[in-house]
RNA sequence: GCCGCUAUCGUAUAACGGUUAGUACAACGGGUUUUCAUCUCGUUAAUCGGAGUUCGAUUCUCCGUAGCGGUACCA
């Protein structure tokens, strides 16, 4: 069926609730790409770039493409590719075209696109926009050439009289930069350089919006000149701010704490919490909402709403977000996720030995912890008899001379206690307390020390209930004998 | 050095050119929780500096300063 351009725009507007003027550049579907290099690491900055691309695609009803920039042949392996796939999948950023899923514009790995590059190189050669020098292929700018001595580089360079290249950035607005020197597009070893393959792929894959880190803003003038030389439409650009390390100068590098997605996976962060945190680093819904459904973010996300200044990473805010998600998690999913976490943890064997107990303990832990990584330390004493007594807590609690008396009274009362539910246990301890003219608190601290080795944790009544009479008795007696 | 981008509490951010400059995290102090955590109330805390435009500037312009990025036959 035939559709007019107006009809198309109207439909797109209706379908995406998007401002029509944002479509001035393109008459077709939005196509964005995320183009990581398989280095064996997946950086949090890359994750956010991927996320913003994905959000924009989902917001506009467009296509999110994964393209692998693996031209650096030496340090590539399937393993490294899997890091990318795993990280994206874990974050929930599914791609519509790319490796594993295919698409009409493949292949999606640069290492498999050599023929495309030579074809495009030929176009440029035919157009007279290249020349060879020192065995490399250079891109020829259009204009009058002149020589000038560069003090900083300590050599004479050839410059070209050209007008500045204008970039209309969706986030930064109008940016101008003078691109006045020819540059290499194919190295003397025959490998095309990043600028060239990047632009060729964007043309070949019909990318409409290039959303990437600000570190590429200065490169963009090169890219724009290449697009023009190919006679291809220049895509819309959107350069998103960088993530700075939380302490010290500079952007976050892979050596910084918290820089790698892998680390969050290992530490048991909830991916939806990390994604929510990342959404808010450089973007906001223009109201006070913070914990948001991803569907709401998709609806509200737009490029002009992205901030222009770099953002410092804040692990405490992320931890808080993770806790908020943990608290809101349906119980059974919490237990299931906790199980997955323990399966990869050394303490997991003991913890998972008794599924019933494990579940009970996890129910106690859910409202108390900030992240799954706290679980082994927080719940260890439930699964192990040889837990350690915190020396500081022990000294403090056992410093009171009556502590041993309280312990003895508890042991004596224990056989007749109803341990079937928390309120019964509470009643029993209260009864014991009042009969000795004391309060619940007089038994709480010493009992807690005896059964858990510490002064923090779930309610003492719950610990008694889950542990059961025998183990509680053993632990109380052990502490009494010890002191 | 040169080029580009940026600049609001410690951090992330909000504020049609008109607000007592808001919110969240953190910090600190109460309350709740017979522990801890949660929750809750409160306190501390910001428009980088200087000009200009304007009746009025956090907001627009310019100049400084600082931060960040780029400046490769890396990506």
pLDDT tens digits, A349-364: 888 988 989 999 999 9
- In angstroms, the CA of A438 and the C1' of B19 are apart by 56
Tens of pLDDT, residues A363-405: 999 999 999 999 999 999 999 888 988 888 888 888 888 888 9
Angle at A40 between CA A38 and CA A44, to 5 degrees: 90
CB-strand contact A188/B, under 7 Å: yes
Q: How do strand A243-244 and strand A311-312 relate by DSSP bridges?
A: parallel
ipTM of the complex: 0.94
**Does residue A191 lie within 7 Å of nucleic acid chain B, judged by its CB?**
yes
**Which of A 202-221 have CB under 7 A of nucleic chain B?**
214-219
Q: Does residue A286 lie within 7 Å of nucleic acid chain B, judged by its CB?
A: yes
Per-residue pLDDT, A27: 56
Which residues are CB-neighbours of A68 under 8 A, at least 6 positions away?
A: A35, A36, A37, A38, A81, A84, A98, A99, A108, A109, A110, A111
What does DSSP say about strands A136-139 and A183-186: parallel, antiparallel, or unpaired?
Answer: antiparallel
pLDDT tens sequence for chain A (483 residues) = 333 344 344 334 333 333 333 444 445 899 999 999 998 899 999 999 999 999 999 999 999 999 999 876 655 578 899 999 999 999 999 999 999 999 999 799 999 999 999 999 999 999 999 999 999 999 999 999 999 998 888 889 999 999 999 999 999 999 999 999 999 999 999 999 999 999 999 999 999 999 999 999 999 999 999 999 999 999 999 999 999 998 888 888 888 888 899 999 999 999 999 999 999 999 999 988 999 999 999 999 999 999 999 999 999 999 999 999 999 999 999 999 999 999 999 988 888 988 989 999 999 999 999 999 999 999 999 998 889 888 888 888 888 888 889 999 999 988 988 888 899 999 999 999 988 888 888 899 999 999 999 989 999 999 999 999 999 999 999 988 886
Tokens of A204: 């070949």
* DSSP H helix total and E strand total for chain A: 20, 13
Residue in A136, A137, A130, A118 with CA at minimum distance from that of residue A229: A130
């Amino acid at each position: 069926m035939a559709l007019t351009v107006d009809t198309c725009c109207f439909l797109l507007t209706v379908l995406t609730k998007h401002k029509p003027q944002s479509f001035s550049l393109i008459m077709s579907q939005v196509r964005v790409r995320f183009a990581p290099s398989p280095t064996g690491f997946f950086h949090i900055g890359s994750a956010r770039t991927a996320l913003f691309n994905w959000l924009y695609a989902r917001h506009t009803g467009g296509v999110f493409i994964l393209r692998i920039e693996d031209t650096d042949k030496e340090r590539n392996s399937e393993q490294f590719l899997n890091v990318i796939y795993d990280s994206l999948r874990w974050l929930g950023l599914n791609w519509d075209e790319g490796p594993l899923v295919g698409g009409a514009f493949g292949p999606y790995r640069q290492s498999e696109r050599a023929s495309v590059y030579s074809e495009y190189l030929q176009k440029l050669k035919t157009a007279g926009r290249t020349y060879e020098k020192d065995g490399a292929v250079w891109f020829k700018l259009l204009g009058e050439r002149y020589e000038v001595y560069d003090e900083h580089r300590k050599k004479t360079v050839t410059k070209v009289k050209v007008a500045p290249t204008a970039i209309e950035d969706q986030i930064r607005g109008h940016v101008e930069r003078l691109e006045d020197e020819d540059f290499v597009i194919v190295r003397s070893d025959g490998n095309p350089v990043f600028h060239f393959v990047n632009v060729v792929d964007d043309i070949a894959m019909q990318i409409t919006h290039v959303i990437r880190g600000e570190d590429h803003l200065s490169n963009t003038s090169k890219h724009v000149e290449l697009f023009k030389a190919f006679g291809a439409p220049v895509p819309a650009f959107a350069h998103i701010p960088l993530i700075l390390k939380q302490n010290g100068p500079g952007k976050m590098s892979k050596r910084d704490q918290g820089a790698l997605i892998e680390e969050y996976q290992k530490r048991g962060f909830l991916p939806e919490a990390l994604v929510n945190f990342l959404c808010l680093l450089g973007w906001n819904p223009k109201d006070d909402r913070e914990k948001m459904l991803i569907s709401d973010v998709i609806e509200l996300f737009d490029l002009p709403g992205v901030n222009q200044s770099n953002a410092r990473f804040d692990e405490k805010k992320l931890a808080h977000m993770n806790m908020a998600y943990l608290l809101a998690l349906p119980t059974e999913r919490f237990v299931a996720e906790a199980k997955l976490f323990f399966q990869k943890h050394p303490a997991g064997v003991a913890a998972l030995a008794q599924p019933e107990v494990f579940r009970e303990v996890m129910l106690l832990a859910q409202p108390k912890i900030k992240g799954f990584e706290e679980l082994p330390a927080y719940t260890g004493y439930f699964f192990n008899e040889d837990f350690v007594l915190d020396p500081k807590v022990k000294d403090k609690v056992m410093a009171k001379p009556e502590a041993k008396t309280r312990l003895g009274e508890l042991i004596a009362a224990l056989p007749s206690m109803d341990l079937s539910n928390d309120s019964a246990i509470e009643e029993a301890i209260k009864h014991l307390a009042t009969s000795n003219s004391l309060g619940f608190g007089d038994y709480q601290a010493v009992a807690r020390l005896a059964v858990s080795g510490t002064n923090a944790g779930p309610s003492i009544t719950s610990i008694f209930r889950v542990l059961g009479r025998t183990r509680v008795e053993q632990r109380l007696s052990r502490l009494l004998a010890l002191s």
